[in-house]
Amino acid sequence: MNDAELILNPDGSVYHLNLLPEDLAPTIILVGDKDRVPLVSQHFDRIDIKKQKREFCTHTGWIGNKRITVISTGIGSPNIDIVMNELDALVNIDLSNRHVHSNLSSLNFIRIGTSGSIHPDIDVDQIVISAMAVGTDNLGDYYQSKKINHPLLPSWSYITERHPFDLKNFTPGYTEGITLTCSGFYAPQGRTLRIAPAYTIPINGLHLEKINGLSFTNLEMETAAIYLMADLLGHKAISVNAILGNRWHGNFSPDPHRTIFDLIGHTLNWIAQIPE
């Protein structure tokens, strides 16, 4: 890897995230919004690291004896490509000589995200855990992804799965389903403001389709990319989603901040029990 392939800052940190290997914990929470990072880290017993560059804000600290990093990814799969590759580089590449370590490390990635339901029975303020994710973004075209041939989905779609984390200690009442990861927020998710879309995914009918007994439950912009990159790089990943809107019924959470705050608490309680 030359200087233009793996770019480092003058202090030796990775280019976009501005992090050094010692800044990173083995358990990493991914959030989209940088303002959500302190909402997570306020629950830490101690915060050792606070860094930010562009939309990438990172806090690393401790809950009891468990070290945890929370980092904002920004929106969309292009940012996931940056974040996942650079986080992997921190643990699996010697940055001083740009050589891959002979013994590779595996990280735990937990996405705490917001999402929209496309299932009539999954209403706002509920929790969906992505057992599988289908990406309609184009990140899968650049990596070795598993394509899915489905009449209701674009021909370039790819399918991924979460790591089999033990969820027995997660708060009850969540739903596991298939998350649709889209390349944008408006036309790619079936929204029309002033521009008529050239292509529309029939989101109102997807909940009737099943893969391995699972229904399509929700849509957002990152999960399939996270699962894809984690699988290819040898890491573990799971996406936990707060449902803020229901596209089927056309309603939105009356208190989205409370819904997100509650999900953070539930997820941190569960993370504290995950073995390293």
Range of the domain at 119: 21-271
- The per-residue DSSP string of 192-216 comes to -SSS--S----TTTGGG-EETTEEE
pLDDT in tens, the chain (276 residues): 899 999 999 999 999 999 999 999 999 999 999 999 999 999 999 999 999 999 999 999 999 999 999 999 999 999 999 999 999 999 999 999 999 999 999 999 999 999 999 999 999 999 999 999 999 999 999 999 999 999 999 999 999 999 999 999 999 999 999 999 999 999 999 999 999 999 888 888 899 999 999 999 999 999 999 999 999 999 999 999 999 999 999 999 999 999 999 999 999 999 998 876
Angle of helix 77-92 versus helix 223-233 axis, rounded to 10 = 30
Whether the CB-CB separation of 124 and 243 falls below 8 Å is answered with: yes
Residue-wise pLDDT for 224-258, tens only, equals: 999 999 999 999 999 999 999 999 999 999 999 99
Question: For the domain that residue 191 is a member of, what is the CATH number?
Answer: 3.40.50.1580
∠ CA(101), CA(106), CA(112), 5° rounding? 135
The confidence score (pLDDT) of residue 275 equals 75
If one counts the domains in the chain, the total is 1
Residue 8, in any domain of the structure? no
The confidence score (pLDDT) of residue 204 equals 87
Residue-wise pLDDT for 173-208, tens only, equals: 999 999 999 999 999 999 999 999 998 888 888 999
Residue 3, in any domain of the structure? no
166 burial class (0-12, 13-18, 19+ CB within 10 angstroms)? exposed
Residue 194, in any domain of the structure? yes
The confidence score (pLDDT) of residue 273 equals 86
The confidence score (pLDDT) of residue 274 equals 82
Whether the CB-CB separation of 84 and 229 falls below 8 Å is answered with: yes
Residue 10, in any domain of the structure? no
Residue 6, in any domain of the structure? no
